[in-house]
A and B are shown apart, each in its own frame.
Chain A
């Protein structure tokens, strides 16, 4: 017998790149909330764990026309034919039909990293080392989120622990619907510029839904047709041009022509 799940919500985000000043509070809040261990000295930008990676992108113009935006890149919660879900050999990645959240089940993960190769946004991270916290940091670990071990993959799950807490609170109040004020991901909460808006994309009256339909809103790699649920907002033309460009040619690379 097939179980049908009614699509209730499609949680998504809109990130205002014009507001983001690259302070990194979102990345820190994310790490603290989700028990992401601090970097070891042996780690580098390619082997470290950052569910939310803040990437500075410049328009490559000279002063005074030079501009930089900071792009918080993390799991885009793809909805259509989710690349990572499809490839995982042991169902360690789940697409929740009720929320649209793509979550990783580290307890089941083999660590084959096929999902990392499949992700077009490079938003998945492997535990190359054993996680280590100092004694003081251990006391600050979030009891609602289980830390991951060496040899498994992890990624952003829109603070799933907070969703569970919101559901528990709603259930305690006798409601089956959560109050969206109770479910706010850590990065959204921490942003001093209020650059990240989170909510239900299925609710046409929600701010996130309205912003996602704004003409200044765009997504990355839309032609791959994975239908991500994270949107970016900018009024700068060069940001839109950059986002539409499939591949870039940076000055650092040795190129023909």
Chain B
């Protein structure tokens, strides 16, 4: 039965092995489900959040995974709107990742709010001045777009392709994809930005408050750019990881380089603007609120090292590496730079959520710390396990990488399988042979 569901011409591990792979993730999913049950049934007292640390691990991770999931909208934008066909081989993967990240984030948000059954109130009594309203509207709409974009991937299943109506439906959906990509880009632009705006508008938190352009604070634009950069790097990293796990080449090396290049360009623009924004904040915004910016970094836990790491180590360095053609040619450096880019964005989201809340505002307030409870960690691992399971099922029973069939040729693959030192040695010897022949 299982074999009949696997798309033709694709090699997949045995059903037993697949179940064995799923087992730990299902176990993690079950523990996470129990933690979620505790939080929903008995209340958020199961978390370590409190009246000062009103946001914790969940909001931080929501912001992070939504940034990492931005690969879905940005790859779609590059492929369908800017017609960069190189990305055709990773668009399905980007969509699945986007769906996992967004649905996971929305799911965990429903546990994070005190009254999840009132979530619809935002649509009924919306406060149009709230960044969270913008986030809720765009996030919900974009999740629907992602589900629509996910349908053709599901319809690539061997059994489903036997139904003519589904084939026609899939064909029609493909024709509409540029429209959905356009809508997705529009919605993503706003919700990625609004997530940045969430903190940028907090006048009462001078550490996070930023100057506004029109109705949006600068963090709005910084979040859009950083999400686009991190999203593409995340698509690159996950594709590499799937290749490692499945021990197969799934996309051509050029795709990695292209993803790295665009991610590098976006990261460069982001980090330049972020540096300017930080200087404006240090010299004007924070001072005008009565808070010398370097007072924020007086605590040993969050010293200036965090700012340096975010902007230089995990910002400028990966931006330089990714924009350099020579560096992109070296797979390990390409992947390391992608990892650093994602790490930098994760650190930025950490700073915006956790550091903002840890810092006092009132003169007699103390700096506070927070560490998540096991329920918070388990609920987050639930999202990770859910993501792995959904991705694994889609990979097994559908076609995530369209180049997979073509690349499963008996010719040995040079990319990734051969260490860099060996390649250098090989080139050296081939050059030597060339000169000898002359």
Instruction: Identify the A interface with B (CB < 8 A).
Output: 42, 44, 46-48, 55, 57, 71, 73, 81, 83, 86-92, 108-114, 116-122, 124-130, 149-153, 220-226, 242-250, 252-257
Which 3 residue pairs across A and B have the least CB separation, nearest first?
A: A111-B114, A151-B114, A120-B204
A3 smallest CB distance to B (angstroms): 17
Query: Is the Cβ of B51 less than 8 Å from the Cβ of A129?
Result: no
Secondary structure type dominating chain A contacts:
loop
Q: With CB as the reference atom, state the residue of chain B lying closest to A221.
A: B361
Query: Is the Cβ of A256 less than 8 Å from the Cβ of B113?
Result: no
- Interchain Cβ contacts under 8 Å between A and B, 11 examples: A89-B126, A89-B127, A110-B121, A113-B49, A114-B132, A120-B205, A127-B114, A128-B44, A221-B204, A246-B295, A253-B367
Query: Is the Cβ of B114 less than 8 Å from the Cβ of A250?
Result: no
Contact A109-B204, Cβ < 8 Å, known A126-B51, A247-B363:
no
Contact of A256 among B136, B202, B298 (CB under 8 A): B298
Query: Is the Cβ of A246 less than 8 Å from the Cβ of B54?
Result: no
Contact of A117 among B50, B133, B205 (CB under 8 A): B205
Query: Is the Cβ of B50 less than 8 Å from the Cβ of A109?
Result: no
> Which residues of B lie under 8 Å from residue A87 when comparing CB positions?
127, 130-132, 201-202
Contact of B204 among A110, A149, A224, A249 (CB under 8 A): A224
Contact A249-B298, Cβ < 8 Å, known A90-B127, A224-B289:
yes
Contact A256-B303, Cβ < 8 Å, known A89-B133, A114-B198, A221-B362:
yes
Query: Is the Cβ of A46 less than 8 Å from the Cβ of B121?
Result: no
Query: What is the CA–CA distance of A110 and B114 in the complex, to the nearest angstrom?
Result: 6
Query: Is the Cβ of A128 less than 8 Å from the Cβ of B124?
Result: no
> Which residues of A lie under 8 Å from residue B163 when comparing CB positions?
none
> Which residues of B lie under 8 Å from residue A91 when comparing CB positions?
125-127
Query: Is the Cβ of B129 less than 8 Å from the Cβ of A86?
Result: yes
> Which residues of A lie under 8 Å from residue B112 when comparing CB positions?
112
B65 smallest CB distance to A (angstroms): 18
Query: What is the CA–CA distance of A47 and B201 in the complex, to the nearest angstrom?
Result: 26
Query: Is the Cβ of B51 less than 8 Å from the Cβ of A116?
Result: yes
B211 smallest CB distance to A (angstroms): 14
Query: Is the Cβ of B299 less than 8 Å from the Cβ of A110?
Result: no
> Which residues of A lie under 8 Å from residue B356 when comparing CB positions?
117
B301 smallest CB distance to A (angstroms): 7
Identify the interface centre among A86, A222, A244: most chain B CB within 10 Å of its CB. Answer: A86
Query: Is the Cβ of B202 less than 8 Å from the Cβ of A118?
Result: yes
Query: Is the Cβ of A130 less than 8 Å from the Cβ of B43?
Result: yes
Query: Is the Cβ of A112 less than 8 Å from the Cβ of B113?
Result: yes
> Which residues of A lie under 8 Å from residue B295 when comparing CB positions?
246-247
Q: How many residues belonging to B are interface residues under a CB distance threshold of 8 Å?
A: 60
Query: Is the Cβ of A220 less than 8 Å from the Cβ of B127?
Result: no
Q: Which residues in chain B, 114-170, are within 8 Å of chain A measured between CB atoms? A: 114-115, 118-119, 121-122, 124-127, 129-133, 136
Q: Beyond A88-B132, A108-B118, A247-B291: 13 further Cβ-contacts under 8 Å?
A: A48-B51, A86-B129, A87-B201, A88-B127, A88-B130, A117-B205, A118-B202, A119-B204, A122-B365, A151-B113, A246-B295, A253-B299, A255-B298
> Which residues of A lie under 8 Å from residue B288 when comparing CB positions?
223
Query: Is the Cβ of B362 less than 8 Å from the Cβ of A220?
Result: yes
> Which residues of A lie under 8 Å from residue B213 when comparing CB positions?
none
> Which residues of B lie under 8 Å from residue A243 when comparing CB positions?
363
> Which residues of B lie under 8 Å from residue A150 when comparing CB positions?
43, 114
Query: Is the Cβ of B122 less than 8 Å from the Cβ of A120?
Result: no
Query: What is the CA–CA distance of A221 and B205 in the complex, to the nearest angstrom?
Result: 11
Q: How many A-B residue pairs have CB under 8 A?
A: 195
B160 smallest CB distance to A (angstroms): 38
> Which residues of B lie under 8 Å from residue A246 when comparing CB positions?
206, 289-292, 295, 363
> Which residues of B lie under 8 Å from residue A128 when comparing CB positions?
43-45, 49-50
A83 smallest CB distance to B (angstroms): 4
Query: Is the Cβ of A120 less than 8 Å from the Cβ of B130?
Result: no
> Which residues of B lie under 8 Å from residue A46 when comparing CB positions?
50-53, 368
Query: What is the CA–CA distance of A254 and B198 in the complex, to the nearest angstrom?
Result: 29
Contact A223-B289, Cβ < 8 Å, known A127-B114, A247-B360:
yes
B357, CB-defined interface residue at 8 Å = yes
Query: What is the CA–CA distance of A110 and B298 in the complex, to the nearest angstrom?
Result: 35
Interface 1/0s, chain B 227-258, versus A by CB < 8 A? 00000000000000000000000000000000
Q: With CB as the reference atom, state the residue of chain B lying closest to A44.
A: B50
Query: What is the CA–CA distance of A46 and B55 in the complex, to the nearest angstrom?
Result: 13
Query: What is the CA–CA distance of A245 and B303 in the complex, to the nearest angstrom?
Result: 20
A128 smallest CB distance to B (angstroms): 4
Query: Is the Cβ of B121 less than 8 Å from the Cβ of A129?
Result: no
Query: What is the CA–CA distance of A88 and B133 in the complex, to the nearest angstrom?
Result: 8
Contact A226-B119, Cβ < 8 Å, known A117-B55, A247-B295:
no
> Which residues of A lie under 8 Å from residue B434 when comparing CB positions?
none
> Which residues of A lie under 8 Å from residue B411 when comparing CB positions?
none
Identify the interface centre among B44, B295, B298, B362: most chain A CB within 10 Å of its CB. Answer: B362
Query: What is the CA–CA distance of A153 and B118 in the complex, to the nearest angstrom?
Result: 14
A179 smallest CB distance to B (angstroms): 34
Contact of B113 among A47, A111, A225, A255 (CB under 8 A): A111
Query: What is the CA–CA distance of A89 and B140 in the complex, to the nearest angstrom?
Result: 14
> Which residues of B lie under 8 Å from residue A250 when comparing CB positions?
366
> Which residues of B lie under 8 Å from residue A225 when comparing CB positions?
203
Q: With CB as the reference atom, state the residue of chain A lying closest to B129.
A: A86
A244 smallest CB distance to B (angstroms): 8
B370 smallest CB distance to A (angstroms): 9
Query: Is the Cβ of A248 less than 8 Å from the Cβ of B365?
Result: yes
Query: What is the CA–CA distance of A57 and B49 in the complex, to the nearest angstrom?
Result: 25
Q: Which residues in chain B, 339-387, are within 8 Å of chain A measured between CB atoms? A: 356-357, 359-368
> Which residues of B lie under 8 Å from residue A152 when comparing CB positions?
114-115
Contact A118-B362, Cβ < 8 Å, known A90-B124, A223-B288:
no
Query: Is the Cβ of B127 less than 8 Å from the Cβ of A110?
Result: no
> Which residues of B lie under 8 Å from residue A244 when comparing CB positions?
363
B300, CB-defined interface residue at 8 Å = yes
Query: What is the CA–CA distance of A119 and B51 in the complex, to the nearest angstrom?
Result: 11
Query: What is the CA–CA distance of A153 and B55 in the complex, to the nearest angstrom?
Result: 13
Query: Is the Cβ of A224 less than 8 Å from the Cβ of B206?
Result: yes
Query: Is the Cβ of A110 less than 8 Å from the Cβ of B133?
Result: no
Contact of A248 among B52, B55, B303, B360 (CB under 8 A): B360
Query: Is the Cβ of A245 less than 8 Å from the Cβ of B203?
Result: no
